[in-house]
């Protein structure tokens, strides 16, 4: 009887002994140099209100500018800024604004022509004019510069080595018979638009033609003309 109880105790001890050394199925061991897989953290979602505001901002474009445009015209003769009259014409050629250079014009958006004329022969003997196209967008701030190129010339009409004062000179653009300036020679330089010209000189009851004379922008040129 005593031996039978001992056998039962030994059997119970064997049945309830230490745990199995084999890992459970599907488990990964951290031994043996294997990497441990860690699940990435979930990206937090934006709050509903912020996400909606962002979606609306991406969906709606910036509002287009509205209102009148502002145009300022600067006029230069040579390097000098001058306050010449400025006229603004619409697409039909009708004058819609007038004022001095440097004065801002407030205009509806659209296409315009800006016209400037030199009317003082002392400023430029050929009294040129310019017209420039400009297109203005709503609420645009535009600066426009219109420039007249200037040269200075002084003619010396000589006969038998003697200079003739107050000879009359007609200035014509090359390729044209139209006289754009008519002046008399003297001690002072005459300012004209830079370019290529033909000269018709009236002196000592003679008429002398000098072709293809070039007056360079910014220059002051003394030009001798000898007659018999």
| Domains of the chain, first to last | 69-148 (2.60.40.1120), 150-227 (2.60.40.10)
Q: Residue 40's pLDDT is what? A: 56
Q: Among residues of the chain, what percentage have pLDDT more than 70?
A: 74
- Region 146-170: mean pLDDT is 92
Q: Residue 164's pLDDT is what? A: 86
User: Is the model more confident about 74 or about 1?
Assistant: 74
- pTM exceeds cut of 0.75: no
Whether 124 contacts 193, CB under 8 Å: yes
103 CB-near residues (< 8 Å, 6+ apart): 72, 86
Q: Residue 45's pLDDT is what? A: 60
Q: Residue 35's pLDDT is what? A: 53
Q: Residue 27's pLDDT is what? A: 43
Q: Residue 20's pLDDT is what? A: 45
Q: Residue 1's pLDDT is what? A: 44
DSSP state of 174: T
Condensed to tens digits (0 to 9), the pLDDT of residues 61-85 reads: 778 888 999 999 999 999 999 999 9
Q: Residue 50's pLDDT is what? A: 66
Average pLDDT taken over every residue of the chain: 83
Condensed to tens digits (0 to 9), the pLDDT of residues 22-51 reads: 444 444 444 444 555 555 565 556 566 666
Q: Residue 46's pLDDT is what? A: 53
DSSP state of 30: S
- Region 141-147: mean pLDDT is 97
Q: Residue 81's pLDDT is what? A: 97
118 CB-near residues (< 8 Å, 6+ apart): 77, 84, 124, 127, 128, 129, 148
Q: Give yes or no for residue 134 having a pLDDT over 60.
A: yes
For residue 121, CA distances in Å to 63, 190, 220 come to 50, 9, 17
Q: How far apart are CA 113 and CA 32, in angstroms?
A: 86
User: Is the model more confident about 47 or about 109?
Assistant: 109
Q: Give yes or no for residue 190 having a pLDDT over 60.
A: yes
């Amino acid at each position: 009887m005593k031996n039978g109880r001992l056998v039962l105790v030994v059997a119970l001890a064997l049945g309830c002994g230490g745990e199995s050394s084999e890992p459970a199925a599907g488990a990964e061991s951290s031994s043996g140099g294997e990497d441990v897989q860690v699940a990435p953290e979930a990206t937090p979602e934006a709050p509903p209100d912020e996400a909606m505001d962002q979606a609306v901002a991406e969906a709606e474009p910036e509002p287009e500018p509205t209102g009148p445009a502002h145009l300022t015209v600067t006029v230069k003769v040579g390097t000098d800024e001058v306050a010449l009259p400025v006229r603004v014409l619409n697409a039909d050629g009708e004058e819609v604004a007038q004022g001095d250079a440097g004065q801002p014009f407030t205009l509806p958006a659209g296409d315009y022509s800006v016209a400037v004329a030199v009317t003082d022969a002392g400023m430029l003997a050929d009294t040129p004019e310019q017209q420039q196209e400009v297109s203005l967008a709503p609420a645009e701030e535009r600066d426009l510069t219109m420039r007249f190129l200037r040269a200075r010339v002084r003619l010396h009409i000589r006969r038998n080595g003697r200079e003739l004062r107050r000879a009359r000179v007609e200035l014509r653009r090359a390729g044209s018979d139209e006289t754009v300036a008519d002046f008399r020679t003297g001690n002072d330089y005459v300012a004209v638009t830079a370019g290529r010209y033909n000269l018709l000189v009236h002196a000592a009851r003679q008429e002398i033609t000098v072709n293809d004379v070039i007056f360079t922008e910014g220059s002051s040129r003394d030009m001798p003309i000898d007659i018999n």
